Amino acid sequence: MRRISLLVLVLTFGLTACAVSTQQEVEMGAGYAQQIERQLPLVEDAELTRYINVLGDSIARIADARNLDWSFRIVDSPDVNAFAIPGGFIYINRGLIERATSLSQVAGVIGHEIGHVTMRHSIKQMQKAQGTNLGVTLVCVLTSVCNNEASQAMINIGASAAFASFSRQDEDEADAEGVTYMVDAGIDPSGIPEMFQILLDERTRKPGALDTWFRSHPLEESRIEASKARIAQLPPERVRGLTRDSQNFQAFKARLAALPPSPPSR
């Protein structure tokens, strides 16, 4: 019963994606998050999960007025990646956190992903997918209707299409939103361009190492410059004294580094 009603729900509002309510968005997101969490290895350490959720919530409650029940999870993978699912489910890879040197850099990635949720970029993607096979795939992706092996492969394709390949414009918007949220949350927004720079530098040193990340996140010097320019335009009194790093963050990183190595990627 429930499966059928979810399918009807998606098909119905699929036609008018702009009218997707927050409740529908959360229902879709929760269903998809459940599937993801069955497939991806997550860091289960309670203290680490608590830390990333406290940090994430401190930004999200400022960013989004909808009072979503946000969830932040660390994916136990050495690859660099981060992604957001509608409804407020954010995933950040261990490999990304390990490359960050300060609190504000991890907060920058989180702020960017929160921006995708708040600006409802995935919902817009759904709208664009209307009339293509991707629309059908999304029904599978966003509900548990197609729970078999063949659809699992589709889920991966659909998921990367829906939640990873945002347009350049969406990426810029998420960057801009991220800067604003961070300042409002009292965190130095320079973490955003700094994290980008760390990844770009690594790509220059070791081409290929960050392929997964760069496939889904268009990232060039110009995007770093755009973030820096946005920050430079902020009134100096707004950026003065913002948090760059903390002992708690460094303890969090040390605890993460002390975990057994990530399982090999599947």
Q: Which residues bind Zn ion (CB under 5 A)?
A: 171, 174
Nearer to Zn ion, 27 or 113 (CB): 113
The torsion angles phi and psi of 93, rounded to 5 degrees, stand at: -75, 145
Quote the CA–CA distance of 174 and 185 in Å, as a whole number: 16
Nearer to Zn ion, 139 or 217 (CB): 217
Q: Residues 60, 3: contact at Cβ < 8 Å? A: no
Shortest approach of Zn ion to residue 166 CB, angstroms?
Answer: 5
Shortest approach of Zn ion to residue 154 CB, angstroms?
Answer: 23
Nearer to Zn ion, 112 or 253 (CB): 112
Shortest approach of Zn ion to residue 219 CB, angstroms?
Answer: 9
Q: Residues 219, 200: contact at Cβ < 8 Å? A: yes
Q: Is 92 left (phi over 0), alpha (psi -120 to 50) or beta?
A: beta
The whole-angstrom distance between residue 231's C-alpha and the CA centroid of its chain comes to 21
Query: How many angstroms separate the Cα of 117 from the Cα of each of 52, 55, 98, 173?
Result: 17, 17, 24, 11
Q: Residues 72, 90: contact at Cβ < 8 Å? A: yes
Nearer to Zn ion, 64 or 171 (CB): 171
Shortest approach of Zn ion to residue 254 CB, angstroms?
Answer: 28
Nearer to Zn ion, 118 or 143 (CB): 118
Shortest approach of Zn ion to residue 84 CB, angstroms?
Answer: 8
Q: Is 60 left (phi over 0), alpha (psi -120 to 50) or beta?
A: alpha
